[in-house]
Structures are given as C-alpha cells and as structure tokens.
Amino acid sequence: MVFSILLPIFLLVIFGSVFNKTKLGNTNVSFAQYFVAGLLASGLLYSAFQQVAISIPEERSNGTLKRLVGSPMPPSVYFAGKLAASTFTYIFQAIALLTIGHFSYGIHLPGSATLWLDFVWISVLGLAASSLLGIAFSNFAKDGQAASALAAPVVLFFQFTSGVFFVYANLPKWMQDIAAVFPLKWMAQAMRGVFLPKLFASQEVGHSFELPKAAVILSVWTLAAALLCRFTFHWLPKNET
C-alpha cells in the first residue's frame, strides 16, 4: 500500500535528479518532462491494477471476502470500494508527482483547460481499465504474497516496454508491437499528449499522440476486463466452495 503510493514519487526523485539536464533528441523537452507523463500512467497501474490485484487475493485468503459474501452486503459495494481506494491513491500520487515535479525539476504543467480535461478523462479511463484488470488478475493468485510476486513483474515489464523508463520511439519494433496491445502504452502516450509540447508529437511513432485512439483502446480494455471479471471472479478460495 505504502509502496504503491510512494514508488512513483521515489522514481521521480531518482530519475529526475540523475537526468535533470538531459534533453530528448534535438528538442527542448527535458527527460523529466517526458518521464512525469510515464510516471502518471504508471501511477494508474500501481494505484489501481497492482493495489487491487494484491489486496483481493489477500482478502480472499484471510477470510474477509468469505465474511462479506456471507453478509447482506451488495457485491457492487465491495468493487466500488476498491475503485474508490484506487482513485484516492491515484489523486494523492498525481498531486505529489506534479507538485514535486514542478517545483524541483521544472516540469511544465498543462497550460489550458482543454489539456486538464484530457488529463481527467485519461485518468478516469485508466483507473477503470486498470482496476478491472486488477480484479480479473486477482483470480490467479491464492494469497497476497503470491499476487505480489505475480503482479509486480507484470507492471515492471510494461513500464520498460511502454515508454515509461525509455523513450517509446527508441525501442525495438517488436517491443513496441507487444506494448501497443496493452493499456500502459496508451495511457503513457496520452499523458504525453497532455504534458509535452504539441511539436513533440512528430517524435512519436505515429507522429501524433493519438488521443482518440487511446480512448478507444482503453475503453475496449475496460469492457473486456469487466466481462472477464463478470465470468471469472470468485469470492471464496477454490477449496472452500
């Protein structure tokens, strides 16, 4: 929990300090500016996907879910609670990242209401897709420890391949192709659309931040994850049914 909240902030401080003066290619954009977009997208994975994917198996193995499902609690309340926890964690993370980024590493904040609005819908869609994927993922682990061992490498893999730690356009084509199927690449790219200057779009693989395409792909993932949850979610450990 503490890990999920603080990790992106640690990453910003470490990478921001090391690559403070680095500019991307022949542009005027600092690595920190590029990195903060990726960290905000990663924050969606940490606070929603990872937090949900670990806490549900933990609560399944310690009996929380068994108690809840035996009570008259409507099941939707549980999922709403998970979404709310993810949202609060993300809001806290985003405020911390932008405040520290702006004052310590000179990161430029979005300059127009339209860009802030883009930031909000990317965040909302990212939270929805990530938490639902977290719920679907929770079916694979028998307890919190196993879930942690499964989810953390998944998050790390996508951070490396989706343009968080490295500039996406500089990655090998096969890596880009894999990442382009999954949500993190689109969340990070859409965030760059909010945080990088318009001119930087020419540096992207598709010569555009492709916000509409990101919206469609994240929506498809949200729907697919919701369907997966609908048919695979189980409240009780497999040997207790």
Partner 1 sequence: MGAIDIKGLTRSYGDFVAVSDFDLTVVAGECVAILGPNGAGKTTVVEILEGYRHRDGGEVSVLGLDPAHPNRQWRQKLGIVLQSANDLNELTVREAVEHFARYYPSPRDVDGAIELVGLTEKASTRASNLSGGQRRRLDVALGVIGRPALLFLDEPTTGFDPEARHIFWDLIDRLKHEGVTIVLTTHYLEEADALADHVVVVTRGRKVADTTPADLGSRSKNLVSVRWLEDSELKEQRTAEPTKFVRELAARFTGEIPGLEVVRTTLEEAYLELVNVSEP
Q: Which is nearer to partner 1, 60 or 192 (CB)?
A: 60
Shortest Å distance, C-beta 65 to partner 1: 8
Residue 67 lies near partner 1 (rule: CB under 8 A): yes
Residue 207 lies near partner 1 (rule: CB under 8 A): no
Residue 1 lies near partner 1 (rule: CB under 8 A): no
CA atoms of 215 and 101, how far apart (whole Å): 26
Axis crossing angle, helix 2-18 with helix 75-105, rounded to the nearest 10: 20
Please, which residues bridge with residue 30 across strands?
23
Residue 66 lies near partner 1 (rule: CB under 8 A): yes
Residue 176 backbone class (left: φ over 0; alpha: ψ -120 to 50; beta: rest)? alpha
CA atoms of 11 and 7, how far apart (whole Å): 6
Cβ atoms of 126 and 210 closer than 8 Å: no
For residues 221 to 240, the per-residue mask of contacts with partner 1, x marking binding by CB under 8 A and - elsewhere, is: ---------------x--xx
CA atoms of 235 and 199, how far apart (whole Å): 49
Among 71, 76, 112, 202, binds partner 1 (CB under 8 A): 71
Shortest Å distance, C-beta 3 to partner 1: 17
Among 56, 59, 122, 127, binds partner 1 (CB under 8 A): 59
E strand or H helix that includes residue 191:
helix 183-195
Residue 145 lies near partner 1 (rule: CB under 8 A): no
| Binding window for partner 1 (CB under 8 A); candidates: 32-40, 44-52, 61-69, 216-224 | 61-69
For residue 56, report the phi and psi dihedrals to the nearest 5 degrees. Answer: -65, -50
Site for partner 1 in 72-111 (CB under 8 A): 72-74
Which residues of the shown chain bind partner 1 in the complex (CB under 8 A)? 59, 62-64, 66-67, 69-74, 236, 239-241
